[in-house]
């Protein structure tokens, strides 16, 4: 059974940091590209970052220079280090596993950036 379980969300003040984790099981993690997306109420899900199976990374312009995506294939986990957080980063963050036409999603973790 495929599972993606995000954790690490919470409330943080502007300028602070959080590290999200996404633990995978039920598929061959190392051969999948792993992505992070986010969504706020009433808006479409927004792309944040990707790390490919080969370790290449891609970022949305809105997070470039502040967020870092990484993966640990031995632990079957992908991470999103978020620094210099802004109120507009507030959202539910989801991880996604992609290979060819196959996509798996996690259930999401809430990140709130506020005083």
The per-residue pLDDT for range 42-92, each reduced to its tens digit, is: 999 999 999 999 999 999 999 999 999 999 999 999 999 999 999 999 999
pLDDT, position 1 = 95
Tokens representing 83 are 């620094």
Quick check: helix, strand or coil at residue 98? strand
Under 8 Å between Cβ of 78 and 71:
yes
Calpha distance 75→53 (Å, rounded): 14
| Average pLDDT value for residue range 87-105 | 97
Which sign, positive or negative, has the C-alpha torsion 32, 68, 107, 62? Answer: negative
């Amino acid at each position: 059974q495929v599972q993606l379980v995000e954790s690490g969300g919470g409330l943080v003040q502007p300028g602070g940091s959080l590290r999200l984790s996404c633990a995978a099981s039920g598929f061959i993690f190392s051969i999948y590209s792993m992505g992070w997306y986010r969504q706020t109420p009433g808006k479409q899900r927004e792309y944040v970052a990707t790390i490919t199976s080969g370790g290449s990374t891609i970022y949305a312009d809105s997070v470039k220079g502040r967020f870092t995506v990484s993966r640990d294939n031995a632990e079957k986990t992908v991470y999103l280090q978020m620094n210099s957080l802004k109120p507009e980063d507030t959202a539910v963050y989801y991880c996604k596993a992609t290979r060819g036409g196959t996509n798996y999603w996690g259930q999401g973790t809430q990140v709130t950036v506020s005083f």
